[in-house]
Amino acid sequence: MALRLLIPDAVWSTLEPLLRESKHAAGAPPRLSDRLVIEAVLYQARTGTPWRDLPDEFGHWNAVYQRFRRWEKRHLWARLRSLIEFKFPTSPRVKFIVPVTVELVAL
């Protein structure tokens, strides 16, 4: 399956510095690129597919999900959205999907 990527290069060049500065120096570098993780989150939000069913081209689903959660806990998604809204205030082609997770509750 060929991936359909959504993040234009102009938007990525705006997001990349914020992601780079938010990284921790400790530990090994991640195997998945930040851009691919964001593309995977956008794919999941767009299609509604369960995390476990993400296409293999995005990497292991749990690696994507764990980074999604770490960024959510650090409020990085809100910072990314604010940055996009500031840099591209009137562009109809640049939209940002606020990731939302759904918890299943056993009845």
Distance CA 16, CA 21 (A): 9
Instruction: From 71, 72, 50, 70, select the one nearest 61 (Cα to Cα).
Output: 50
CA neighbours closer than 13 Å in the CB half-sphere of residue 76: 19
How would residue 25 be classed by pLDDT, with cut points 50, 70 and 90?
low
Give per-residue pLDDT as tens, 47-56: 889 999 999 9
The structure tokens 């102009």 sit at 10
This prediction's pTM: 0.76
| Residue 11 pLDDT greater than 60, yes or no | yes
In the predicted model, is pLDDT for residue 86 greater than 90?
Answer: no
Q: Amino acid identity of 80?
A: L
